[in-house]
Amino acid sequence: QETVCIFGTGDFGRSLGLRLLQSGYNVVYGSRDPKNSLLLPKGSKVMAHAAAACEAHVIFVAVQREHYGFLKSLASTLAGKVLIDVSNNLRRGLYPESNAEYLSSLVPGATVVKAFNTISAWALQSGGLDANRQVLICGDRADAKQQVVDIAQSLGFTVLDRGSLRAAAELEDLPLQLFPLWRLPFCIAFCLTAFIFFYALTRDVIYERVTNGKDNAFRIMISLANRVFPIVSLVMLALCYLPGALAGFLQLYNGTKYRRFPDWLDRWMLCRKQLGLLALAFGFLHVLYTLVIPIRYYVRYRINVYVISLVKDNKTYEFDNTVAWRHDAYISMGILGFGLFVLLGITSLPSVSNSLNWREFSFVQSKLGYMTLLLCTAHTFLYGWDKFLRTSSYRWWMPPSYMLSLVVPCVVLILKLILIMPCVDRKVTRIRQGWE
């Protein structure tokens, strides 16, 4: 049974120690105050730092970087040992060099390995299966790294080697990231939302106010929201399939798949998942906003007033078969489209996508994805119907907002249509299989 030393009896040190003990290691803590061992896992020993260091060859430094100072005085004891730096910083760019390199400069005789910083104390404690299970490590000496790999593997983690200690800065950045891949899609969603909102506000509220003097402002809460959300959803759904189509044309043009895509296209392709999920979130809100329509005070008021007027004016009330068809058709398309949309969402859950093979995954994401786009576009077309022909729809020369939303989807669908024409398709397939 190997002995491992841990400096620092804080949250991380304690959780790590417990886990090491469970996996059959002996654990020795190095602490400023060896008496105070109340919360430490049973079976571990606590000593002063120097004494603890002597007991083991591998030492975890579970102390904040700010307090590394005391290690300098231990430099001679630590010479020849493997120091594992697990530390993170509170913000990026706090220090010029990475914590691991700083540690290495403090104790030049020891070999420093950066590892475990992406694992939270909580993850260590709750068993490891339930939290990020990948330990990233880096360091300059292969044998020291191997020892850390062995420990990590016996704790049940998988290990990914990221190279020399120079990579430490990168590893220290990882836990500070906040949804890096979602940033661009969020920006797009935000800008689109803002634009459509002001567009619809102008058409539906301000126009009404200026020309008829009517105060429609309460419509912002639901009517406008239910105009903005579906449009953003549809556009983002289309944006998510646009780069694939562009890539196809680019490959046709290049005649090979080995030419790199331009950078912007590469970046765009990498955030399609996020674009799609945001589109789903907006679509979800659209559905909820639609389903509450009949319980709105305003809608009930309007319907009642309409019925009363019908009775009072003794008008006949004709049933319009075409409207019934069209109305039911667009709602039905919406529902089916949304069903497929949710299915796309479900298959992008990591655990589901892992259990699909590549062919199944791209069947769902690519084939059914285009089907979703088609259904949603048809839904919007049928919703609009002949509105675009009526001049009353163009207020201050602004077309109805749903028309704006149709531009990108139509472009994508047309591009795709071209790509799946047999002659083009054959050529694309040949290119993609590397037959030159």
Ligand X SMILES: CCCCCCCCCCCCCCCC(=O)OC[C@H](COP(=O)(O)O)OC(=O)CCCCCCCCCCCCCCC
Ligand Y SMILES: NC(=O)c1ccc[n+]([C@@H]2O[C@H](COP(=O)([O-])OP(=O)(O)OC[C@H]3O[C@@H](n4cnc5c(N)ncnc54)[C@H](OP(=O)(O)O)[C@@H]3O)[C@@H](O)[C@H]2O)c1
Minimum distance, C-beta of residue 8 to its own copies, in the bound complex (Å): 9
With 0-12 CB in 10 A as exposed, 13-18 as middle and 19+ as buried, what is 429? exposed
Sign of the four-CA dihedral 307, 311, 314, 320: positive
Tell me if residue 218 falls in helix, strand or coil: helix
The stretch near its own copies (CB under 8 A) out of 99-107, 172-180, 190-198, 385-393 is 172-180
Q: How many CB atoms lie within 10 A of CB 366?
A: 13
Q: Which of 1, 24, 33, 386 binds ligand Y (CB under 6 A)?
A: 33
Task: Verify binding: residue 93, its own copies, rule CB under 8 A.
Answer: no
Q: Please, which of residues 67-96 interact with ligand Y by CB under 6 A? A: 67, 70, 86-88
Q: Which of 4, 9, 240, 409 binds ligand Y (CB under 6 A)?
A: 9
Task: Verify binding: residue 229, ligand Y, rule CB under 6 A.
Answer: no
Q: Which is closer to ligand HEM, CB of 15 or CB of 226? A: 226
| One-letter amino acid of 89 | N
Select from ligand X, ligand HEM, ligand Y, none the partner in contact with residue 402, using the beta carbon and a kind-dependent cut-off of 5 to 8 Å: ligand HEM
> Under 8 Å CB-to-CB from 87, ≥6 apart: which residues?
61, 63, 64, 65, 99, 100, 117, 172
Q: Please, which of residues 283-312 interact with ligand Y by CB under 6 A? A: none
Select from ligand Y, ligand HEM, ligand FAD, none the partner in contact with residue 276, using the beta carbon and a kind-dependent cut-off of 5 to 8 Å: ligand FAD
Residues in the interface with ligand HEM (CB under 6 A) total 27
Select from ligand X, ligand FAD, its own copies, none the partner in contact with residue 163, using the beta carbon and a kind-dependent cut-off of 5 to 8 Å: its own copies
Residues, the chain, total? 436
Minimum distance, C-beta of residue 221 to ligand FAD, in the bound complex (Å): 25
Q: Residue 367 pairs with which residues in a beta bridge?
A: none
| Strands 158-161 and 82-85, sheet pairing | unpaired
Select from ligand FAD, ligand HEM, its own copies, none the partner in contact with residue 273, using the beta carbon and a kind-dependent cut-off of 5 to 8 Å: ligand FAD
Long-range contacts of 28-35 (CB under 8 A, 24+ apart): 28/3, 28/4, 28/52, 28/55, 28/56, 29/5, 30/5, 30/6, 30/59, 31/7, 32/70
Minimum distance, C-beta of residue 271 to ligand X, in the bound complex (Å): 10
DSSP state of 222: T
Residues in the interface with ligand Y (CB under 6 A) total 21
